[in-house]
Amino acid sequence: MDMQVPIKTLPQTAPVIDQLARPLRELRVSVIDRCNFRCTYCMPEDSLQGRGVFLPLVKLLTDHEIVDLVRAFVDLGVYKVRITGGEPLVRPGLPSLVGRLSAIEGLRDIALTTNGVLLPRLAADLADAGLSRITVSLDSLDQQVLHQMSGGKARLEEILAGIEAASAAGFKRLKINTVVQRDVNDHTVLDLLAHFRGTGHSVRLIEYMDVGNSNHWHMDQVVPSAEWVQRIGEVWPIEPVADGRPSETARRYRYLDGQGEIGLISSISQPFCGGCTRARLTADGILYTCLFGTKGTNLMPLLRQASDPDALSARIRAIWLQRNDRYSEIRTGLTARKEKVEMYRMGG
C-alpha cells in the first residue's frame, strides 16, 4: 500500500467460487457515469447522441447504498475495492464515501482510478479518509495527442499537477494508466516512460480493448505487449518480475538500472480471464461479472425493497456461483457482434 494505513485482517469467509474455479475477491464500483473528458476509447463525443444520456443524479446509488453493497460483497470474500466512473472525482462528497468504506471490517484495500484533474482539490481529503492507492489515466505527454484522445478536454499541465498533488498528499507510488493505440499515441510512449522513470510511479501500458461498441475498436490499432517488451528493452533493459497472484492484470517488468517498474496489460494478446476475481457494479446498482458484459443484474430492488437482510448477499452469491465469463479468451472465435455495455457505464 502507498499510504501508511494499517493492513486489515483478510476476511475469513469461505470464498464463493464460480464455474471456472475463480473466487470473488475484488469489486469495482462506478460511483458516477459522467466524466469531464470524452476519451475516444471510452466515451467518444460522437457516440453520446446529444444530451440526456447520463443517469440523473437522483438515480445514482446513495453513499449509504454503496456502503451496504460493499459490505455485502466483503461478507462474501471481497477484500479489494476500486472506485471508478465515469470520472469518480466529479461525484459530490467522494471523500466522505471513502471514509465510510474504509470503516468496513475486512476491507483491506480501497483504490481509485481518475483522470487526475481534480486531485489538487481532493487528494489530501481522500488520504485522510483512508484511500489506499490512486491510479491516474494519462495517455501521452504530447498535448496535441492528448487533446485528440480526450475529445479536446485534457490539459497536460492539469493532469501532471494532479499527480504532484497526490504525491504531496502521501500517495508516493501511483500507477499511470496509458491506453495505447497504434498510429495514435504509440509514438509517444517512450517519452512517457522516460518521464516517470525514477519517480516511484509505475506506468501501465494497456492494449486498446473492445469494451463497449462506441469506440469503433479494430484489431489493427492494438499494439501487442510483446512488442513493447522488445521496444522498451532496446532503450532500457528490463526483466520480468515474478508475481504469484493469478488475479493480477498487469505483467510487471523492472528496469535493470533500478529506475522502477512498468506494467503491461494484455487483454487482447495474452488474455487473463482464468485469474479474474473481479465483479463490477454500475452507479445505478447493476452487477456485471465481466468487463465485456452484455447483461447485468439490477441489485437496486434488493437494496430498497427486500425485507430479508440476507437477500442481497444471497443474490450476489448465486450470481457468482453461475459465472462462466471468459470473453477475452474466446474473442477471436466469436462471429456475432456483441452489444456490450459501454466502458463509462461499467467503470473499466
**CATH superfamily label, 26-171+273-346:** Aldolase class I (3.20.20.70)
Instruction: State the pTM of this model.
Output: 0.91
Per-residue pLDDT tens digits for 93-142: 999 999 999 999 999 999 999 999 999 999 999 999 999 999 999 999 99
Contacts for 340 with CB less than 8 Å, ≥ 6 apart: 210, 211, 212, 213, 292, 293, 294
| pLDDT the model gives residue 5 | 40
Whose CA is closest to 79, among 167, 16, 127? 16
Whose CA is closest to 43, among 197, 180, 158, 149? 149
| pLDDT the model gives residue 240 | 95
Nine-digit cell string for 299: 441489485
- Positions of the chain with pLDDT lower than 50, given as ranges: 1-12, 50-52, 335
Domain ranges of the chain: 26-171+273-346
